[in-house]
Amino acid sequence: MKILKRYILKRVSSMFFLSLFIFTFALVAGNIIKLTDLVVNRGVSVALVGKLFLLIVPFLLSYTIPMSALSATLVVFGRLSSDNEITAIRAHGINLYKLSMPLIIAGLILSLFSIVLNNQILPEMHFATRKIIRNIGIKKPTAYLEAGTFIKGFKGYIVFIREIDKNKLKGIRIYQLRKNLPTRTIIARSGEFITLKNQNAVKLKLINGTSDEPNPKNPLRFYKLNFKTYYLTLDLGDEAASGHYIEKKPKEMNFQEIRREIKKLGRHHIDALPLIVEFNRKISLSFASLVFIIIGISLGISTRRGEKSVQFAIALGVIVVYYLLMAGGMALSLRGVQPIGLWIHLPNIIFTIVGIILFNNAVEGRG
């Protein structure tokens, strides 16, 4: 049993590192084109672009590690199944649960490492990358606007923009903080920003939304104003206008920073849903390696096809379905559909259940 465990663990490990190289290289290739453009068309130094490249690689690992774990287990157990070695193992009374335990433990170790990667390493890498890109390309004050983050660089306002495409905006929420008075909220479906020349300010044109307007007789109360077009001028802070201040996006925060930000926004009664979603996303993606190893072992035993091309095709299919479910879960969560945590963790729950069912069938000889 020990020899067989070591044999399987060795084969899975070698296939894991091979898959890790292939997947990482494939994803890096797409980024190389963008980085080359910085050197060729924008005159950015090779040294600076090289630094950007090194910062991008850890981000890719957060995806390629679980993908490689899935491919490695699927290929190895698929070959064992196609060569009837799984049948021979069962015939000799060897427990498949115990045989797979070292790989399950390895998956848990990879997931624990991924928690460190997603919580500590990647947020710093993301933030450092964005600061470098900002310093390379900043040409106007409005360049510091970032989608998907609470922007607090405007005087007296907190702004959240879901999507930014050049000067076109979607999903806008603006919170006006008023001392000793309730927070005023402006929500718009879309809009655009206009740079005011020679001014540290941004003019926002908001389209189709609602605005809380103070009651002249009682400033503590608001009435709802529905609008088709609404103009708002926001003053930029000196640091934001100079490009030295950059607000952290949710994905650039660790768990502690996200908790602090949620509490801070909560004191102003501001919806911190994007932060809650990001908190759960980090946890969910961290355990993808463990889930992929479970489903990889089960599918490898069940498919009975030993060709690596077939196993890689199955792995890619599983990966596509997993991340589509993850994207769908995040979309529902960002819309506030309850329970938020369940939607984000749903891919892990589904794949774990399917993996356990397939594995049980294999152990009982029905796979």
Q: What is the pLDDT of residues 320-356, one digit of tens each?
A: 999 999 999 988 988 888 888 889 999 999 999 998 8
pLDDT the model gives residue 367 = 46
Position 308 pLDDT exceeds 70:
no
Exposure string for 192-206, b = 16+ CB within 10 A, e = fewer? bbeeeeeeebbebbb
Q: 156-165, 213-222, 323-332 — which is least confidently predicted?
A: 213-222
Q: What does the alpha-carbon distance between residue 21 and residue 144 come to, in Å, rounded to a whole number?
A: 35
- Among 244, 262, 276, 317, which residue's Cα sits nearest to residue 71? 317
Position 208 pLDDT exceeds 90:
yes
- CA 12 from chain centre, in angstroms, equals 27
Do residues 180 and 166 make contact, with C-beta atoms less than 8 angstroms apart?
no
What is the pTM (predicted TM-score) of this model? 0.69
pLDDT the model gives residue 43 = 61
Q: 38-47, 110-119, 276-285, 322-331 — which is least confidently predicted?
A: 38-47
DSSP 155: T
Give residue for tokens 């606007």: 145
Position 279 pLDDT exceeds 80:
yes
Residues 18-53 pLDDT 10s? 999 988 888 888 777 777 766 665 566 777 778 778
- Among 248, 151, 139, 256, which residue's Cα sits nearest to residue 204? 151
Q: What does the alpha-carbon distance between residue 101 and residue 262 come to, in Å, rounded to a whole number?
A: 39
Position 138 pLDDT exceeds 50:
no
Res. 228 pLDDT band, cuts 50 70 90: very high
Which residues share a beta bridge with 230? 206
Res. 75 pLDDT band, cuts 50 70 90: confident
Res. 139 pLDDT band, cuts 50 70 90: very low
Cis previous bond, 219, omega within 30:
no
Question: Which position has the higher pLDDT, 363 or 189?
Answer: 189
Structure tokens at 260: 């602090």
Helix (H) or strand (E) holding 231: strand 218-235
Res. 241 pLDDT band, cuts 50 70 90: very low
Q: 36-50, 179-193, 221-235, 258-272 — which is least confidently predicted?
A: 36-50
Do residues 68 and 23 make contact, with C-beta atoms less than 8 angstroms apart?
yes
Res. 306 pLDDT band, cuts 50 70 90: low
Q: For the chain, what is the mean pLDDT?
A: 82
Q: What does the alpha-carbon distance between residue 301 and residue 84 come to, in Å, rounded to a whole number?
A: 10
pLDDT the model gives residue 239 = 47
